[in-house]
Amino acid sequence: MRVLTWNLWWRFGPWQERRKAILTVLRDLRPDVVGLQEVWDDGTENLAHRLADELGMTCAWAPSRAPQRWQRRLGDPTIAFGNAVLSRWPVLDQEVAQLPAGPDDDGRLALYTRLGHPAHPVPFFTTHLTSDVDASAVRCAQVAALARFVAARRTGTDFPPVITGDFNAWPASDEVRLFGGYRTAPAVPGQVFLDAWEYADPAQPSATWDPANPYLAGYHGPGVRIDYIHVGPPGPGGLGHVESVRRTGDRAVNGVWPSDHAAVLAELSAAAGPVAN
């Protein structure tokens, strides 16, 4: 099962040309499931639904309850902002969790979908945590809420939950460690999630927020990985095991960079192998 997470940089920059570049990347990669962040809806068109239609996929979309901070940046108070899931399989169920807010509530949320894979329903989530550099405490509260949200919706299938998103946090941060639950005490007792990048080739580029991207021209910090695919421990016979992972969407398409973020693509085992004795 090919899983992708990608922050699409809302409606900033040359968005019409970027939309074409995003679609080109997704067509080339042929993911089975996609978690998207910073998705826009202008009242007549929804980016996620348009991509889904072009790719022959189903779509679930969840708008932010408080997009005003983003609308002020864009200078347009009418365009919605949110998260979405694209899937090659039917969306059997969906639900939204509103995440804890900091002093400036920008409506961060988590979107849950239960996907109708023909062999094993897949509990799939995508989220976008607050981006303020000094807001680690807020993100810790957000991942704790996210972990509880996942815990209540992971049952009824052997496939482990898959959680994608822009965590706006470094891999060694308190919030990422708290959510994973294997380098510190987990947010939900007994529940751990594996960072798919643990299976990556150490020599390959990992930064999804990369100064090499021209949209980050005013950013003078280091490149860092802030976008994640987390997976619960494999099910029977290695079901959901991470087989490979890499960065993608990290270069121009016909002269246009698709987003200010690179994407992360992981291959998960969709079939159970023999169970070891």
Looking at residue 271, its pLDDT comes to 82
Sign of the dihedral defined by the CA atoms of residues 147, 153, 154, 159, in that order? negative
Q: What angle do CA 60, 189, 96 make, to 5 degrees?
A: 15
Compute the average pLDDT of residues 226-251: 97
Compute the average pLDDT of residues 147-173: 97
**Mean confidence (pLDDT) of the chain:** 96
**Residue 103 pLDDT > 90:** no
Looking at residue 104, its pLDDT comes to 82
Beta bridge partners of 227: 166
List, in sequence order, the alpha helices (H) in the chain.
15-29, 47-55, 68-74, 136-151, 174-180
Compute the average pLDDT of residues 113-133: 97
Compute the average pLDDT of residues 23-43: 98
Domains of the chain, each with CATH number or no CATH:
2-268 (3.60.10.10)
Q: Tell how far CA 142 is from the center of its chain.
A: 15
**Residue 44 pLDDT > 90:** yes
* Whole-structure pTM value: 0.96
**Residue 47 pLDDT > 80:** yes
Sign of the dihedral defined by the CA atoms of residues 200, 205, 211, 215, in that order? negative
Q: Which amino acid is at 107?
A: G
Q: Is 217 exposed, middle or buried (0-12, 13-18, 19+ CB in 10 A)?
A: exposed
